[in-house]
Structure 1
Amino acid sequence: MTSMTISGAVAHERQSEVHISARRARARRSAWIWFGRILVAVIVIGGWQWFTSAGWVDKFFFGQPSAIWDSLVHLFTVGTAFGTIWENLGVTAQEAFLGFLLGTLAGVVVGILFGSNKYLATVFGPYIKALNSVPRIVLGSIFIVAFGLGVFPKVLLAAVLVFFVVFFNAFQGVREADQNLIANVRVLGASPLQVARHVTIPSAMTWIIASLHTAFGFAIIGALVGEVLGAQHGIGLIISQAQGNFDPNTVFAAMVIMAVITLGAEYLLTLLERRLLKWRPPSRSEAQAI
């Protein structure tokens, strides 16, 4: 009994050492990753500032990091002719978020429906491809003309961009479902709704969740493009106005703001993905994810 107790204690100690070593390795890897990221940012921003200050790059066209910072400070302290930066940011965020939700919902429903029904996929396939080939800026112009300068046309444009990203992933996810498993479930008497709930949708969920990372970026693009084409408020309007005034620093400042918003949304989507797909064993690509 004593020898067994000693062996158990030794095994437990070794296991603890392995866990501690693994944590230290992860901490070192994380530190090196952040070091690399900060180093890249310092090199790019520092080089940009140096080249523009030396006159090797024309800051009239490409801006300058120090001037971009001044533009950011001005936007957050003084605001714009269209209201405070928070008001404009709220409008753009609202358009992107609503477009993201609407496009995701439509893409999931239609993608699963078409993926589960070969007849519908065959009939509507050419129309889906034709609509996907229409230039988005043309759609944005049509929506602006049809629905005015309000929020709705930007939401609609963002939803269209999101829809196709989510639709094709949901469609492919359903098609990748195990057909033998589906056949066995049907033999056991499962209804089409039960097959979709317990087999098809879980199979497509990985594809759908993965598409959301790209889809939110497209929602931001849709909202900004719509605002550039015509709006009363929004970050896109600030970009359009700065472009007309030959002010690249404000354009870059607005881009920085939207990049921060997008990175925040990406982080939240990553947390959502880990929570919804916690049953799935992590892959090598996920273990090395950015």
Structure 2
Amino acid sequence: MSLETPAAPATSLPVLETEQDILTKAKRATSRRKRNTWLLRLALVVVWLGSWELTATYWIDPFFYSKPSRIWQRLVEWVTSGTDFGSLWYQLWVTVEEALVGFAIGAVAGVIFGVILGRSQYLADVLAPFIKAANAVPRIVLASLFVIWFGLGLASKVATVVVLVFFVVFFNAFTGAREVDRNLIDNARILGAGRMQVIKAIVLPSATSWILSSLHTAFGFALIGAVVGEYAGSKAGIGFLISNAQGTFDSAGIYAAMIIITVVALLAEWGIGNLENRLLRWRPSMSASSQTVI
């Protein structure tokens, strides 16, 4: 009988991944996830439009609800031949101009007043009921008043946009100014910094993320304000096209105008997102697991 023990089978050592391999796998996984996300979004849009087209063809009256094919025809007609009131690009520019001017004025005013009241408890306590009352006023009522006060031109639409944008930016700037680390301010004052120096060097940089996050919502409200003002009374613009389409029971025209405004809002959102990323490069990047797609 042999006393020799059988040799243990040879085992291969695990291959250690390099840092480059890990990064490559992570990039591939991220790319695959983005591709699958966009494919799923596309599938949802196709299913939605297809079901709408079939429903409007066989079950519901397309005169009232329209359907994607008619909306596409109206968009092509507006782009190639223009609207009944002139070029589509002119109508779009009128709305965008009103939104941009009102957005700039409302955002600057919201930042200034938000930071001032955020750093002054006394002023905030005095003006709080007036600000809340002004914010509670229905905007559609103000749009009608602005048309009476300022006429059918640019001024009444800009005023409507300013009112909508101001409060969105104001409350974020106010909160951002209140959330500044008190120790930083105390240390700066110990070193001899004045009130304006504290605001410029500490308060505004700390509140930047709050302010920039409000701009995403604010520009959407700017477009809404311009369209609502035009709908209340105007001589041109996308809101004017919507009002005219409603008066002529042109549901396809209403949907087409809504799509145009949506595209403009998405482009503006993309631009503001790029601006935010450039201005806030100092922030630590979020981990992939904590990111949320909206």
**Same fold per TM (> 0.5)?**
yes
Q: Specify the alignment match of 1:6 in structure 2.
A: none
Tell me how far apart the structure 2 counterparts of residues 95 and 35 of structure 1 sit (CA, whole Å).
36
Partner AA of 2:274 in structure 1: L
Deviation digits for residues 136-158 of structure 1 (CA, Å, limit 9, x no counterpart): 01110111001100011101111
Q: Specify the alignment match of 2:184 in structure 1.
A: 181
Tell me how far apart the structure 2 counterparts of residues 14 and 280 of structure 1 sit (CA, whole Å).
28
Matched, 1:198 2:229: no
Tell me how far apart the structure 1 counterparts of residues 275 and 178 of structure 2 sit (CA, whole Å).
24
Matched, 1:29 2:33: yes
Aligned residues: 279
Q: Identify, as 1 or 2, the structure richer in helix.
A: 1
Tell me how far apart the structure 1 counterparts of residues 23 and 187 of structure 2 sit (CA, whole Å).
42
- Residue 286 of structure 1 and its aligned partner are, at CA, apart by 7.3
Please, what TM-score do these two structures have when normalized by structure 1?
Answer: 0.93
Paired residues for 1:70-109 under 5 Å: 70-109=73-112
Q: Specify the alignment match of 1:38 in structure 2.
A: 42
Percent sequence identity is 49
Q: Specify the alignment match of 1:68 in structure 2.
A: 71
Which consecutive residues of structure 2, in runs of 5 or more, have no partner in the other structure? 1-14
Instruction: Please identify runs of 4+ aligned residues in structure 1 that moved more than 2 A.
Output: 282-290
Partner AA of 2:93 in structure 1: G
Tell me which structure has the larger Cα radius of gyration.
2
Partner AA of 1:21 in structure 2: K
Deviation digits for residues 180-219 of structure 1 (CA, Å, limit 9, x no counterpart): 2211221221111111112111111111000000000000
- Residue 289 of structure 1 and its aligned partner are, at CA, apart by 3.6
Tell me how far apart the structure 1 counterparts of residues 221 and 265 of structure 2 sit (CA, whole Å).
10
Deviation digits for residues 69-97 of structure 1 (CA, Å, limit 9, x no counterpart): 01101111221222110000000000011
Q: Specify the alignment match of 1:166 in structure 2.
A: 169
Return the match for 1:241 from 239, 244, 253: 244
Matched, 1:111 2:117: no
* Mapped contact 1:68–1:249 kept (Cα < 8 A): yes
Tell me how far apart the structure 2 counterparts of residues 249 and 82 of structure 1 sit (CA, whole Å).
17
Tell me how far apart the structure 2 counterparts of residues 289 and 160 of structure 1 sit (CA, whole Å).
30
* Mapped contact 1:82–1:232 kept (Cα < 8 A): no
Partner AA of 2:36 in structure 1: W
Tell me how far apart the structure 2 counterparts of residues 229 and 214 of structure 1 sit (CA, whole Å).
22
Q: Alignment RMSD, CA only?
A: 1.5
Partner AA of 1:131 in structure 2: A
